[in-house]
Amino acid sequence: MSSPLPLRFLRSASDHEQLPESLLEVAIVGRSNVGKSSLINALAARKKLARTSKTPGATQLLNVFEFGDEDSGRWLVDLPGYGYAKLSKRQLQDMADMINDYMTQRETVVQAISLFDANVGPTELDLQTIDWLRHIDLEIVLVGTKVDKIKASQRGKKQRAAADKLGVKSGEIAWVSSDKGTGIPELRGQIAALLSS
C-alpha cells in the first residue's frame, strides 16, 4: 500500500488509564530526535499531523492517532522519546514508568515499531529497549530512519553493521527517509496490514 495512511490525531494522555478502549494498538518507540513525528507525517503524507520540533524531547505524552474510520479503535501510538538528557531525573523516571505501564498493562498493544537512526546505528539505549520489547514478548518492526544522511557508498556497510548489532538480517529492517520518501511506501503497507488485522 503506497497511498498515505488514513491517520487522524485522536488525543494525548499522560497515563494509559486515561485512554478509552481500543481494538488494537501499534506503538512507535525510539529515542529523542530519531524522527518519530516526521515518520508519522510521512506515513500519512501530512506535514503537521504530528508535531515536530527542533528540540529533542518534545513528545512527553502518549499521542494517539486513529487509523481508518472514526471510532475504528485501531491506533498508532507515538510514545515519548527516550534518552533525552535535559529532563530532570524525576521527569525521566516518570516518563519511563508511563511507557512501561502502557506497554505492559495495555492489553490491546499488539506490536511495537522500534526506530533507530540508521546513520548513527543502534545505540546502547536502542539495544536495551529492543531487548526489553523482546522480553515482554512484543512483536517488533525494526526501522532505521534518516537513511538519506548516509552516503550511497556507505549504506550497505551501515545496514549490515546495524543488522549484526540487532541480531537480524538486513532485509528484516525497514530502511526509511521521511524527507526523501525512501522506504515509506513499503512501511505504509506493513503498518496498514498490522492495523487492519
| pLDDT tens sequence across 14-38 | 899 999 999 999 999 999 889 999 9
CB 118, CB 148: distance < 8 Å: no
Q: For residues 122 and 116, is the Cβ–Cβ distance under 8 A?
A: yes
C-alpha span between 4 and 161 (Å, rounded): 31
Does this model's pTM top 0.85? Answer: yes
Give the per-residue pLDDT at 36: 92
C-beta separation of 116 from 108 below 8 A: no
Nearest to 91 by CA among 133, 51, 57: 57
Please give the residue that has the higher pLDDT: either 1 or 141: 141
Q: What is the mean pLDDT of residues 80-104?
A: 82
Give CA–CA dist 180/120, Å, rounded: 18
| pLDDT confidence tier of residue 166, bands split at 50, 70 and 90 | very high
- Where would I find the H helices in the chain? 36-44, 89-105, 124-135, 152-166, 184-196
DSSP at 26: E
Report whether pLDDT(122) > 70: yes
CB under 8 Å, gap of 24 or more: what pairs does 94-97 form? 95/60
Confidence of residue 93 (pLDDT cuts 50, 70, 90): confident
Q: What is the pLDDT of residue 92?
A: 75
**Between the CA of residue 86 and those of 32, 57, 82, 167, what are the distances in Å?**
11, 8, 11, 31
CATH topology of domain 7-196: Rossmann fold (3.40.50)
- Region for 146 from its dihedrals, namely left if φ exceeds 0, alpha if ψ lies in -120 to 50, beta otherwise: left
Question: CA-CA distance, 77 to 9, in Å (whole number)?
Answer: 10
What pLDDT was estimated at residue 197? 81
> For 172-186, how does the pLDDT look when each residue is reduced to its tens digit (9 = 90+)?
999 999 999 999 999
pLDDT in tens, 45-84: 999 898 775 554 555 789 999 999 889 999 999 998 887 6
The average confidence (pLDDT) of the chain is: 91
Query: In which element (H, E) is residue 80 found?
Result: none
**Whole-Å CA distances, 179 to 25, 112, 189:** 26, 22, 18
Q: What backbone torsions phi and psi does residue 64 show, to the nearest 5 degrees?
A: -105, 130
With beta carbons less than 8 A apart as the criterion, state whether 159 and 150 touch: no
Instruction: Give yes or no for residue 2 having a pLDDT over 80.
Output: no
